[in-house]
Amino acid sequence: MKNVLVVTHTTLPHAVEKFTGIFTCADALGWRCSILETAPIGKASLVDAILAFRPDGIIHEGPVVDGGVPAEIRRRLPVVWLDPDGGGRSKECRVAADNGRIAELALEELKLAGARSYLFVSLFAGARWSQERERRFLQLAEGAPSGRVAMAGGGMVKAFERRLGSALGRLKAPVGVFAVNDRTAVMALDCARRAGRVCGRDYLLVSVDNDRHLCENAAPPLTSVAQDFLQVGRIAARMLDRLMRGALVGGGEELSPPLGVVRRASSVPSSDKGVSPLSHKVYTEICLNALSGGSVGSVCAAAGASRRLCEMRFKSEYGKTIRSAILDQRFAEVERLLGNPSQLLEPIANLCGWSSSAHLKRMFKARYGMTMSAWRAKRLG
């Protein structure tokens, strides 16, 4: 039995999905798999901490803090770098997001929403993945007014706010803003609000990662390009397997394409006065209650207005009905759950707000043109 060690600086929410993908493959390959967080470990002690696991191979996930896996270990053991923030060396094995395709999807969404100019925003300007997304996005936007607000480190709030407000004021409204990830997008929303800019009127925003906690609790909720983190983990595990068996020589990189855009309020143009408090309240209630069975009637009641008024204003400002918005939330979660090969199909209906599995299956086939099992098999390959 092979011992495989997953090394990560600190476990962030999306990393858990990557680990699930790794562990799914580990079970199939008969590996014993462990996780080591390096944040509490001093650099001098890291070699001993890694060797204590007696690994046959290593997957290093995320930011390469203090150089990541020490060179002494890399000379002795096969290592796969999973979403590193640096470029790495040509002979190393890497798995990364398809940042070019992510940028393409973001621009397509912003164009569809009617953006007249474009702005790239990042708090991670020094990271390779940020640079790749920026380069592709601005390349595709060539010919239209565009700009960038890219800073290294997230602590310079005042400087970020000043530069973002200036860029939004200089470019043609609505400005199509591509935030490099959800963390950057949340900060951009807050800074733009303090600068007097209204989302939906002055700018439209698309981010990346689809972290539901961040996206659905933002005001307005964030449209985000969803990444297939489970698949990223599986690709890394398969690459390490080939590396340990000697079937992969010379290194190289494999890209994981994004799942698609999960549309929420931040990329939906609103009236000249912006999204009304009532519609914002309705959308918030949808995000909070769609998966627990919330209906159009219950959402409107929670918003404190008549169903007729809620539906009329919501359709006017968001371009879709309340029922459509509820279904969008539910099916986005269905897709996420189907991406986990160990998730049973029958409980999904209850987890996503439907009263019966049969009802969900009928609606799923009508929406996607195939059964849930077929959709999962197509996605997982």
Tokens read off for 227: 């990444």
What integer pLDDT is reported at residue 288 of this predicted model? 79
What integer pLDDT is reported at residue 112 of this predicted model? 86
Dmax of the chain from CA atoms?
68
Is residue 300 pLDDT above 80, yes or no?
yes
Is residue 336 pLDDT above 70, yes or no?
yes
Decide: 125 and 179 in contact? Cβ < 8 Å.
Answer: no
Question: In Å, how far are 51, 93, 150 from 229, measured between CA atoms?
Answer: 27, 18, 25
Q: Pairing between strand 57-61 and 3-8?
A: parallel
> Is 99-226+262-267 in CATH node 3.40.50.2300?
yes
Q: Which of 67-76, 173-182, 198-207 has the lowest mean pLDDT?
A: 67-76
What integer pLDDT is reported at residue 272 of this predicted model? 46
Q: Supply the pTM of this predicted model.
A: 0.76
Decide: 110 and 225 in contact? Cβ < 8 Å.
Answer: no
What are the boundaries of each domain within the chain? 3-97+228-258, 99-226+262-267, 277-370
Give the DSSP letter of residue 80.
Answer: E
pLDDT tens figures, 42-51: 777 899 999 9
Q: State mean pLDDT over 177-198.
A: 94
pLDDT class for 67, splitting at 50, 70, 90? low
For residues 53 and 341, which has the higher predicted lDDT (pLDDT)?
A: 53
Decide if 99-226+262-267 and 277-370 have a common fold: no
Q: Which of 55-69, 236-250, 358-372 has the lowest mean pLDDT?
A: 55-69
Is residue 78 pLDDT above 90, yes or no?
yes
Q: State mean pLDDT over 27-44.
A: 88
Of 10-14, 90-94, 202-206, 244-248, highest mean pLDDT = 202-206
> Is 277-370 in CATH node 1.20.120.1750?
no
Listed in order, strand segments (DSSP E) in the chain are 3-8, 32-37, 57-61, 79-82, 93-97, 117-122, 146-150, 175-179, 203-208, 223-226, 252-256, 260-262
What integer pLDDT is reported at residue 66 of this predicted model? 62
pLDDT class for 359, splitting at 50, 70, 90? very high
> Is 3-97+228-258 in CATH node 3.40.109.10?
no
Phi-psi group of 64: left, alpha or beta (phi > 0 → left; psi -120 to 50 → alpha; rest → beta):
beta
Decide: 237 and 21 in contact? Cβ < 8 Å.
Answer: yes
